[in-house]
Copies of this chain bind each other. A is one copy, B any other.
Amino acid sequence: MEQLKNYFNKLVKLTDQEWADFQACLIKETHAKKAYLLEEGQKCDFIAFIEAGTFRFYHILDGEEIVTAFFFPGDFVTNYRSFLTDNPSDHHIQALQDAIIYKIHKKDLHALYDRYQSIERLGRLIAENLYLTITKRLDSFQHTSPEERYQELINRNSKLLQEVPQYMVASYIGVKPETLSRIRARK
């Protein structure tokens, strides 16, 4: 929870009252390894902050699992598109280890937006940050090599390969598992 408070403080200074009201809306959840935080077809009505654990964001295409994102401690985990549009999720979100998260529901967040301009601003800054994250991912698909995508992932989480099966990392960077092995051998 301290980690989340520090993150918020870097964006907007919240008063003690604002933080207390925000905190009152947070729901602490633990998810066992392999548990689903969200399944395809469900509406995503939450944003969660990861205290511990890694999640993958994936869908099934022609019978094959395609991993489009990983979420690590310190990240927000959500299907933000489903959260914003109320459309059903086109992805699963699954814990890859035992995880601890703090979840806030959409209706509670919207009530906080109505109540405090500072939290409305926080919502704007988080939306802007998620925009920047996704443009990086778009860039990465258009302009970087699998090696570079692998390196970016390692930069985000140095323990990646102890935590995430290699075939999922390969799927994310868009190569076959054998190619990932060769990339790793060259490093």
Q: Interface of A with B (CB < 8 Å)?
A: 61, 68, 80-81, 84-85, 113, 117, 120-121, 123-124, 127-128, 130-132, 134-135, 137-138, 141-143
Contact = CB atoms under 8 A, between A and B. Distances in A.
A21 to B, nearest CB: 16
- Majority SS of interface residues in chain A? helix
A43 to B, nearest CB: 15
Contacts of A127: 124, 127-128, 131
Number of copies: 2
Nearest to A141: B141
A40 to B, nearest CB: 14
Given A81-B135, A138-B141, A141-B142, 8 more contacts: A80-B131, A84-B128, A84-B132, A121-B124, A123-B124, A130-B131, A131-B134, A134-B138
A61 B142 CA distance: 11
28 contacts: A61-B143, A80-B131, A81-B131, A81-B132, A81-B135, A84-B128, A84-B131, A84-B132, A85-B132, A113-B121, A117-B117, A117-B120, A120-B121, A120-B124, A121-B124, A123-B124, A124-B124, A127-B127, A127-B128, A127-B131, A131-B131, A131-B134, A134-B134, A134-B138, A138-B138, A138-B141, A141-B141, A141-B142
Nearest to A85: B132
Contacts of A138: 134, 137-138, 141
A116 to B, nearest CB: 9
